[in-house]
Amino acid sequence: MFSHLQPTPIDPILGLMAAYKEDPNPQKVDLGVGVYKDENGHTAVLKCVKEAEALRLKLEDSKTYIGMAGDLSFNSHIEKLAFGPAHQVLLAGRVVTAHTPGGTGALRVAAEFIKKANPDATVWVTNPTWANHVSLFQAAGLKVKEYSYYDWETKGLKFDAMMAELATVPAGDVVLVHACCHNPSGMDLNFAQWQQFAELAKEKGFTPLVDMAYQGFGLGLDEDTQGLRYLADLVPELLLCSSCSKNFGLYRERIGAVSVITADSKTADIARSVLLAVVRSIYSMPPAHGAILVSHILNSAELTALWHQELAEMRNRINNYRQLIIDKFKEQGIAQDFSFITRQHGMFSFLGINKEQIEQLRKDYSIYMVGSSRVSIAGLNHSNIDYFAKAMAEVLKG
């Protein structure tokens, strides 16, 4: 049976990571991987996480399963982080949440849930979107289509085209939208645009699926959910996928959550049974460690304050580097306008350079980025940003 298997093409980002690792150049720069790095180029464990781990080690007295829905305290905290503690969907018992193996796991559970709710549903994703979105939904047997989003010419949004296309989406289909820090472009909807999107969703009857992998990395914990909360005010049903990889630095712990928001509490009870059946059929029970760490942090006023501080430091470092890139480019005499970088949010940006220039950066300077010119701002630091700016200046001359 196995002799008939054909090799699967390697994911471009994973291939980029492998090439970077093998590169002997001591000045090499990794702008491809979507992981936060500090000034030393290191993805450190947050102090609040270290303290929570010590507390967990002290208090843990069993390794038994935690149930298909996962850690209930974690689920409650994630809901409040997303919607605020007094949002109507929480007070009315309209939200059902299961903690999952990472944000990717949340999306896969959401996909299977959609399949059970409407097997004929099409999932609409932004053009472009995170590379794994399409394969996750297709793996569940769902059809996937794209809608206009990023404008390569203006380095902004094709908002009018986006709304025109979404106006044709039939009721029963699902429209995926990024809550904040759009991956891969960094271009987000502003609040007025969120309002128009929400009103269109209500009018047309399609179901929004909000992917929130970067809460707190854009403008702030509450600011990054402003659109989501307005959407939940307006539409009767939506799906939310959350991740703790970035904002808690819990990448390898694989902790996320999927939330289903229904029209009323009775429907929520039905949705819970379906959601847990989906979980049972995929991985049965989620991992406990990371979720309990998050619960320990958010159960403690002291650790929550420390987390807020550390999250702000990460967010501010990225935002400061967006401006620093512009400053360094100007120092190198780069005349091309890159000011759009400062209008974006989160870790990513498209530089808008061509494939030949991307290849030259890799070949001549060991600077690695995705073939679309997407760069991770967090890969820059004071020891490599001048080198990067000089390399960009040389490549743009050609």
φ, ψ of residue 312 in degrees (nearest 5): -65, -40
Catalytic choice (30, 71, 211, 224) = 211
pLDDT digits (tens, 9 = 90+) for 115-133: 999 999 999 999 999 989 9
pLDDT value at residue 167: 98
Burial of 352 (0-12, 13-18, 19+ CB in 10 A): middle
Distance of CA 358 to the CA centre of its chain: 24
User: CA angle, 378 as apex, 372 and 384 as ends, to 5°?
Assistant: 95
Same fold, 11-45+304-397 and 65-299: no
Query: Are 148 and 165 contacting, i.e. CB atoms less than 8 angstroms apart?
Result: yes
**Domain ranges across the chain:** 11-45+304-397, 65-299
Residues 6 or more apart whose Cβ sits within 8 Å of residue 24: none
Decide if pLDDT at 10 tops 80.
no
CATH class of domain segment(s) 65-299: alpha beta
Decide if pLDDT at 197 tops 90.
yes
211 catalytic? Reply is: yes
pLDDT digits (tens, 9 = 90+) for 345-377: 999 999 999 999 999 999 999 999 999 999 999
Query: Are 141 and 173 contacting, i.e. CB atoms less than 8 angstroms apart?
Result: no
Catalytic choice (30, 37, 124, 130) = 130
pLDDT digits (tens, 9 = 90+) for 201-245: 999 999 999 999 999 999 999 999 999 999 999 999 999 999 999
Residues 73, 137, 347, 199, Cα dihedral to 10°: -80
**Homologous superfamily in CATH for domain 11-45+304-397:** Aspartate Aminotransferase, domain 1 (3.90.1150.10)
pLDDT value at residue 213: 98
CA distances from 30 to 22, 245, 281, 301, 329 (A): 12, 19, 38, 36, 18
φ, ψ of residue 49 in degrees (nearest 5): -70, -40
> Which position has the token pair 């980002």?
13
- Both structure tokens of 94: 């309209």
The residue among 9, 271, 238 whose CA lies nearest residue 135 is: 9
pLDDT digits (tens, 9 = 90+) for 256-276: 999 999 999 999 999 999 999
Catalytic choice (37, 155, 158, 246) = 246
Q: What angle separates helix 355-365 from helix 385-397, to the nearest 10 degrees?
A: 130
pTM: 0.96
Strand pairing class (367-368; 29-30): parallel
Alpha-carbon distance of 347 to 144, in angstroms, equals 26
- Both structure tokens of 38: 């500090």
58 catalytic? Reply is: no
Query: Are 259 and 97 contacting, i.e. CB atoms less than 8 angstroms apart?
Result: yes
Give the three-class secondary structure for 376. Answer: strand
Mean pLDDT score of the chain, rounded to an integer? Answer: 96
246 catalytic? Reply is: yes
pLDDT value at residue 382: 95
CB atoms within 10 A of CB 28: 18
Q: Kindly report the length of the chain.
A: 398
Alpha-carbon distance of 189 to 168, in angstroms, equals 20
